[in-house]
Amino acid sequence: MYEKYAKIRDSLGYTDYAVAKACGFRQSTLSDWRNGKYQIKHDKLQKIAALFNVDVETFASDDTSEVSDTLVTKKELEIIQAFRAASEDTQKNIQLILGVK
């Protein structure tokens, strides 16, 4: 389970420190989980899943081959949020620039 978490974390550009801070728990929780000293609780896993924008079930196995390159990075998510916040005219201009309808 930790291996899947780590692969997703790395692909999204997070550190354990950033994950812990964003989720409201200590970084040592993640270190202890990695080292087998702690089995992460479901509520913490839910917070991580929400941060990563994935289902909790994503962490159910250690099969990291299931982790796709289609995960949205933090920067891509910021771009999506900025696009949604933009005016309709700005959105149309962006779509023209990108060649999408």
Residue 68: per-residue pLDDT: 62
Render each residue's pLDDT in the chain as its tens digit; 101 residues.
Answer: 888 899 889 888 899 999 999 999 999 999 999 999 999 999 999 999 999 988 888 888 666 666 665 577 777 878 888 999 999 999 999 999 999 87
Task: Indicate whether 40 and 76 sit together in one domain.
Answer: no
Are 47 and 73 contained in the same domain?
no
pLDDT of the residue at 66? 62
Domain shared by 73 and 57, yes or no: no
pTM of the predicted model as reported, rounded to 2 decimal places? 0.67
Please check whether residues 56 and 28 belong to one and the same domain.
Answer: yes
Q: Is 96 found in the same domain as 79?
A: yes
Q: What CA–CA distances, in Å, run from 7 to 15, 17, 79? A: 11, 15, 23
Q: How many domains does the chain have?
A: 2
Q: What is the pLDDT of residue 42?
A: 93
Provide CB contacts within 8 A for 31, sequence distance 6+.
16
Q: Which domain holds residue 36?
A: 1-61
CATH number at residue 49: 1.10.260.40
